[in-house]
Structure 1
Amino acid sequence: MSFDVAHCMLCPRRCGADREKGVGLCHCGTEIRIARAALHPWEEPCISGKHGSGTVFFSGCALGCVFCQNRKISRQAVGKAVTVEQLADVFLELQEQQAHNINLVTGSHYTPWIVQALERAKPKLHIPVVWNCSGYESLEILRMLDGLVDIYLPDLKFYAPETSGAYANCPDYFTVAAKAIPEMFRQVGQLKWNGELLQHGLVVRHLVLPAHRKESMQLLDWLAETLPTDAFLLSLMGQYTPPDTSLPDKHLNRHIATFEYESVREHAVQLGLNGYGQERSSASASYTPDFWTEQ
């Protein structure tokens, strides 16, 4: 894929920004910024394992959910600037710290540079690479990553255009994700394990939102109809945490009810989906890591 940094069409927003002179809707220019790079114990057990996932949080985000827990980095793009060479070194340093994998969080808007860093690190990298994303990914981005990513860890957030339009200003969210997730599966295929740790495959996350349990069930129905149910994992999350400031949609100003989460979980079981659920105690901002604030 050719990438014109002066007219960026990288993500599904296709905003056409000149990132050499300013920033796109992702809030980023050509400078790679990372908000945190450290071992992370709070991913799914097959990702975090005993020592933790080597997680690199990238600054900025093209999606912009109104309830984002990481607004400091997604909207303000705070973090440390690094070169491609330094980013490759970060991957190798995390490996030396006994990370079970390199977990790239919200890196879509930096894909061309991340690809360069991965290609630089790959000869010395012997742990899986995880692409941890919003699910709102262009096929062009995913094709750049083909052969470099071992585990895809996308969110599948919204089904109805009205919901994604109101909550992330992207009525086409599901249309985009419904093409992206099958492409991810095409690339990585069946689940492959090393003991209890995942080495290759697809894990789809879904966060149950307050007052949207039926929409959650529609998303699970689509997954069960689209992918072999024994060939990927579902991570069903109940950790929705209301933001500090009140939102216009009153439903988003509360946690989900136990009934809401359990009814979606039971639906997943009925569909034969395998994977992970969450304890209700995970619905807390304490699970959000501290980020670097260097501008």
Structure 2
Amino acid sequence: MAEAERTQLPGYVRLSGSGELEERARRAHEVLRDCVVCPQECRVNRIEDELGFCRTGLLPRVSSYSPHFGEETPLVGKNGSGTIFFAGCNMRCEFCQNYEISQCGAGYAVSNEDLAAIMLHLQERRCHNINLVSPSHVVPQILGAVALAAPRGLNVPLVYNSGGYDSVETLRLLDGVIDIYMPDAKYGRDDVALELSHAPGYTARMQAALKEMHRQVGDLVIRDGLAVRGMIIRHLVLPGNLASSEIVLKFIAEELSRDSYVNIMAQYHPAWKAAEGGRGPVLAALQRPITSREYQYAIRCARENSLSRGFP
């Protein structure tokens, strides 16, 4: 393979050729023995199938996989983003719109070999990328699967599609492996993050994680209409500005980059526990969709911080 052609390949292909990818997978697997894969730091022995906050033992659980056309335009292209939805989650968002998967565990256990085969199948279907949805608690298994799939020809970008509640130490194992990071930046206040997502210390953890992601891949690079490298940041506007959009967007602009690609999302609707009502004023505030004024406030905050990519 010519050197110019090889440099266009995802980084994990080069890491596989050097043996580094396999070594990363081995090191990540050992973290499961006293699990601190994510910021919940449960310290259970997942190699022995002990369950912590994410309710996932040694084997990851997959809910579904398919070409997906509802993601951001630079990921979808003509043939779709090859999404793999992992069951379980390292957060418990009271308003989760995928709660059957994240909270109720809908899915089936797969080995690393099975997961590698799924990735290769999505590539064979001509998906433009492999989109790993809710990956924060199964990074060791993902690394193990990629180490198996890369020598078999996997060569499309990998997308890390997380809630933003990620461990910097774990992310460092992904340096050069993940091509596109797509985290949420959910909240600007820890008290709200704890009440609504059961994620202690969310804001500091999220900010540190996003800085590490940006260090690894930089701003989003689009070639021929498709994302090839960089970051897409998602921010869901919540009723009553519970997300503290002004804090989140200022952080992105000032501490990451004003060229950040930020999808400011308006699709909030009451789901899961938020649809049931009661249990205090914060959760009660989530019992309605957002208003046009609330969404426009978030857009205005972004523009006032000189952000311009990814939203209307």
2:80 partner letter = G
Is 1:130 matched with 2:164? no
User: What fraction of aligned residue pairs are identical, expressed as a percent?
Assistant: 39
Cross-structure match for 1:5? 32
Amino acid at match of 1:253: Q
| Structure that is richer in helix per residue | 2
1:42 to 47, 70, 76: 70
What stretches of structure 2 of length at least 5 have no aligned partner?
1-26
- After the TM superposition, which residues 106-125 of structure 1 pair with which residues of structure 2 at under 5 Å, given as runs? 106-123=134-151, 124-125=153-154
Find out whether 1:277 has 2:306 as its counterpart: no
For 1:61 and 1:143, locate their aligned partners in 2 and report how far apart those are by CA, in whole Å. Answer: 20
Matched-pair contact (CA < 8 Å) for 1:56–1:105: yes
Quote the residue 1:14 is aligned against: 41
Q: 1:226 aligns with which of 240, 255, 264?
A: 255
Letter in 2 for 1:217: E
Following superposition, the deviation at residue 250 of structure 1 comes to 1.4
Q: Structure 1 residues 247-256 or 196-205, which shifts more?
A: 247-256
1:265 offset after TM fit, Å?
A: 0.8
Q: 2:80 aligns with which of 28, 36, 52?
A: 52
Going from structure 1 to structure 2, the CA distance change for 1:64 and 1:191 (only over 3 Å counts) comes to same
Q: In structure 2, how many angstroms separate the alpha carbons of the residues matched to 1:275 and 1:21?
A: 43
Structure 1 residue 271 displacement after superposition: 1.9
1:255 aligns with 2:283: no
Q: Distance in 2 between matches of 1:218 and 1:104?
A: 27
Read off the aligned partner of 1:256 and give its amino acid letter: I
Contact 1:209 1:256 in 2 (8 A): yes
2:221 to 169, 180, 192: 192
CA distance in 1, matches of 2:49, 2:157: 35
**Alpha-carbon contact 2:266-2:290 (below 8 Å) kept:** yes
Q: 1:24 aligns with which of 29, 49, 52?
A: 52
TM-score in terms of structure 2 length: 0.85
CA RMSD of aligned residues (A): 1.6
Cα offsets for 1:252-295 (capped at 9, x unmatched): 110001100011112212322133337xxxxxxxxxxxxxxxxx
Q: Quick check: 2:66–2:82 contact (8 Å CA) kept in 1?
A: yes
Gaps of at least 5 residues in structure 1 are 279-295
Matches of 1:130 and 1:80, distance apart in 2: 22
4+ long deviations beyond 4 Å: none
Q: Name the structure 2 match of 1:292.
A: none
Which residue, 90, 103, 109 being the options, matches 1:81?
109
Matched residue SS, 2:286: helix
CA distance in 1, matches of 2:306, 2:225: 21
